[in-house]
Copies of this chain bind each other. A is one copy, B any other.
Amino acid sequence: MTKPEPGKLMRPQRKLRDGIHVPKVTLAHGGGGKAMRDLIDDVFVSVFDNPVLAPLEDQARVSLSELALHGDRLAFTSDSFVVDPLEFPGGDIGKLAICGTVNDLAVGGAKPLFLSCSAIIEEGVAVALLRKLARSMAEAAAAAGVAIVTGDTKVVGHGACDKLFINTSGVGVIRAGVDLGAHRAETGDAILVNGLLGDHGAAILVARGDLHLETPIESDCAALNGLIDTLLDACPEVKFIRDATRGGIATVLNEIAEASGVGIEIDERAVPLRDEVKGFCEILGLDPLYLANEGKIVLVAPAALAEKARAALASHPLGRDAAIVGHVTAGPAGRVVMQTKFGGKRVVDMLVGEQLPRIC
């Protein structure tokens, strides 16, 4: 964003002292008319370009028989992204909005296919920043093998939203025979994660600058559909997968325990944590089990297949630090406990208040 790119169809809104014109979004860009279409063409369509989006009708259209090539059930999901700041080490709101929705489809065993992108933009945001974030979305979508096929743009007055919110919704197709559900955990099943926990939460908190900390921690923001394909190809018996975003793995573990009416016990020594995240949590008194991730899954596998599932995860670049972190117990139903490194046990409750607002 150092040097503004030429605003193809935008009039400059502000003149800087050095004479460079910085085109900004105005309310006119949200009016539904020519200015809006120019902004959409300039910022979004130019980089999202694909044959389904191209006609820009009110809805994208895809043949059902084409979808049926990938499986037997449609998966449909939606997520809004309000992360603050918009750009952070390891990613930005654009990459996050793509990866988040791709992951919400993939954890259901679906092949993610089509995404929407709906932006709510605050008057005054630099068009160059929007372009940069849209490019980031386009790159993340291409890397994940999904197409952005429909969308919407709203502009609100200065102060009516904080810079930019993005909603992505997604459709995918669930492969035949896969049946993943939080209610399927049984006593003895193994609990796994695909790698180091808490990086996203720590990276965002540091990026806000309030803590006056410097760390090399980057967000783990990544599309996990490739990893999950690898896992399900090797081990289709996996019973449940969920990405551990807001609320961290503690929240996912509690959801499994409650939905299946089982207990869960994890071993603190087995939970993979980066030293920097450990240190960060110690300084701030945070529990890494509650820190947000954007590239981590928790999964439940039958005990006999735990090592096979771990090895499958570890064979993929996004699962190198995969670990078996615990197992399902008979109960008490809904109770998650952690065997601490000191030999004691403590309850890992569901997060009650907020830990970090606007983490995703």
Contacts and interface: CB of A to CB of B under 8 A. Distances in A.
Contact of A243 (B58, B71, B104, B355): B58
A167 B167 CA distance: 7
Given A155-B357, A246-B32, A357-B155, A76 B60 contact: yes
Contacts of A290: 33
B73 A62 contact: yes
Contact of A150 (B55, B76, B181): B76
A33 B76 contact: no
A1 interface: no
Given A34-B351, A82-B120, A75 B60 contact: yes
A180 B62 CA distance: 14
| Leading 3 A-B pairs by shortest Cβ distance | A32-B246, A33-B351, A32-B247
Given A31-B356, A60-B75, A62-B76, 18 more contacts: A28-B353, A33-B352, A34-B350, A35-B353, A58-B105, A58-B242, A59-B104, A59-B108, A60-B76, A64-B67, A76-B114, A78-B116, A80-B152, A82-B154, A82-B160, A120-B165, A160-B161, A167-B167
B351 A79 contact: no
Given A74-B62, A157-B357, A352 B28 contact: yes
A357 B61 contact: no
